[in-house]
């Protein structure tokens, strides 16, 4: 999460929601916090309001994520009720990913780290056929 997002999400909410996962990222250990989906969390007179960004408007698991976030926040001390809203006035970008999520999602090395592309590809290719035969 960037600095402005972190300021809008209290530490207790970050801690609690660090155990909530989009089903697509659970196996990688990337929470909704690491994904940068939390925009804000506020509590007023025992009622919490959570704003989430989605990585895509087509996310098939959005309802599950919203329900999980709502349940976890509603279970926190001082919270009697909770509403979760997806906000669309800000676009989620990969800049919102935590450093941990970036490391977990990076499948390839930084381009500058590969001095010999052909040798790198050859050493990581699963096929036994030479590259020119494909």
**pLDDT for 10-27, tens place per residue?**
999 999 999 999 888 888
User: Which structural domain range is residue 16 located in?
Assistant: 3-107
CATH code of the domain containing 84: 3.30.300.130
Q: What's residue 132's pLDDT?
A: 53
Residue with more model confidence, 3 or 93: 93
Looking at the domain assignment, is residue 28 inside a domain?
yes
115 located within any domain: no
In a domain, 40, yes or no: yes
What pLDDT is stored for residue 4 in this prediction?
Answer: 43
Q: Is residue 112 part of a domain?
A: no
Following DSSP, what letter does each residue of 1-32 receive, concatenated?
Answer: --HHHHHTS-HHHHHHHTT-B-TTTGGGT-BH
Question: Is the pLDDT confidence value at 6 over 50?
Answer: no
| Highest mean pLDDT of the ranges 19-33, 48-62, 67-81, 108-122 | 67-81
The domain total for the chain is 1
């Amino acid at each position: 999460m960037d600095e402005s997002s972190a300021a809008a999400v209290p530490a207790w909410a970050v801690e609690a929601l660090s155990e909530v996962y989009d089903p697509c990222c659970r196996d990688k250990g990337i929470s909704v916090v690491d994904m940068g989906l939390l925009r804000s969390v506020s509590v007023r007179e025992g009622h919490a309001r959570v704003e989430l960004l989605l990585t895509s408007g087509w996310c098939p698991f959005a309802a599950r994520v919203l329900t999980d976030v709502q349940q976890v926040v509603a279970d926190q001390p001082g919270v009697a009720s909770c509403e979760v809203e997806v906000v669309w006035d800000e676009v989620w970008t990969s800049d919102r990913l935590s450093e941990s999520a970036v490391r977990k999602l990076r499948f390839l090395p930084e381009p500058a780290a590969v001095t010999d592309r052909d040798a790198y590809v050859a050493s990581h290719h699963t096929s036994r056929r030479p590259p020119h035969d494909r």
